[in-house]
Chains A and B, each alone.
Chain A
Amino acid sequence: EAQVTQNPRYLITVTGKKLTVTCSQNMNHEYMSWYRQDPGLGLRQIYYSMNVEVTDKGDVPEGYKVSRKEKRNFPLILESPSPNQTSLYFCASSSPGLYNEQFFGPGTRLTVL
């Protein structure tokens, strides 16, 4: 089944404790992105990648890191999480050869205490 998977789905952590949210897609898509969704602010892009080893900042990149060492994986790293990073996070992938139709993962609900 074609899909985007994220892990963990739910995470409660404390300020300053490094964490990684994994994202993997099995559709051989070139493009991948991370978004966060917050009440009243909607969905905003954090980082994106157009291929292996090619990443760039989105609209709200502060406090986040990403890497793209393999085509299928695009982890989101929070080196020192803070309470304002409490949010619902989504990973998405697409292919320019398929009109860039975006496919989203199930989401990761992160709470930073």
Chain B
Amino acid sequence: KQEVTQIPAALSVPEGENLVLNCSFTDSAIYNLQWFRQDPGKGLTSLLLIQSSQREQTSGRLNASLDKSSGRSTLYIAASQPGDSATYLCADFSGGYNKLIFGAGTRLAVHP
């Protein structure tokens, strides 16, 4: 059974820092891995999707990598801004059940 873990659970950084959020999974037979952003009490916004055959995806200041052999994905945020403050969730889409298996999230606070 797939388990997804995110470390750290919370992170507070000053504006301008580059930072890395970690996501690990137990079953390497994933279909794709998706990173989301969630603002408090709000919906989930898709940030990046990495297909199983890919190693990384980039969008603006965000870069996500995937290493299936080690069971890890990382989300790199360059030059962080206060507007990046949110909870970041990674999720594995696997199996034939149209199901995302989510990590618990990393709560990020970027202070000016």
Closest to A98 in B: B49
Which residues of A lie under 8 Å from residue B60 when comparing CB positions? none
- Chain A interface category by residue count: 20 to 34
In the complex the two chains form, what is the Cα distance from A113 to B99 in whole Å? 30
A56 contacts chain B at the CB level, 8 A cutoff: yes
In the complex the two chains form, what is the Cα distance from A42 to B38 in whole Å? 12
- Chain B interface category by residue count: 20 to 34
A94 contacts chain B at the CB level, 8 A cutoff: yes
Which residues of A lie under 8 Å from residue B93 when comparing CB positions? 100, 102
- Out of A33, A43, A58, A105, name the residue touching B102 (CB < 8 Å): A43
Contact flags B62-86 to A (C-beta < 8 A → 1, else 0) = 0000000000000000000000000
- Out of B41, B97, B98, name the residue touching A94 (CB < 8 Å): B98
Take A42-B104, A102-B34 as given contacts and tell me if A33 and B46 are in contact as well, using a CB distance cutoff of 8 Å: no
Contact assessment for B41 and A100 in the assembled complex, using a CB-CB cutoff below 8 Å: no
Contact assessment for A48 and B98 in the assembled complex, using a CB-CB cutoff below 8 Å: yes
Which residues of A lie under 8 Å from residue B49 when comparing CB positions? 99, 101
Smallest CB–CB gap between B84 and chain A, Å?
19
Contact flags A21-57 to B (C-beta < 8 A → 1, else 0) = 0000000000101010000001101001110000010
Contact assessment for A107 and B42 in the assembled complex, using a CB-CB cutoff below 8 Å: yes
Which residues of A lie under 8 Å from residue B105 when comparing CB positions? 42
Contact assessment for B34 and A106 in the assembled complex, using a CB-CB cutoff below 8 Å: no
Contact flags B91-102 to A (C-beta < 8 A → 1, else 0) = 101000111101
B28 contacts chain A at the CB level, 8 A cutoff: no
Closest to A101 in B: B49
Smallest CB–CB gap between B48 and chain A, Å?
10
Closest to A35 in B: B100
Q: Which residues of B approach A to under 8 Å, CB–CB? A: 31-32, 34, 36, 41-46, 49, 51, 89, 91, 93, 97-100, 102-105
Q: Which residues of A approach B to under 8 Å, CB–CB? A: 31, 33, 35, 42-43, 45, 48-50, 56, 58-59, 88, 90, 92, 94, 99-107, 109
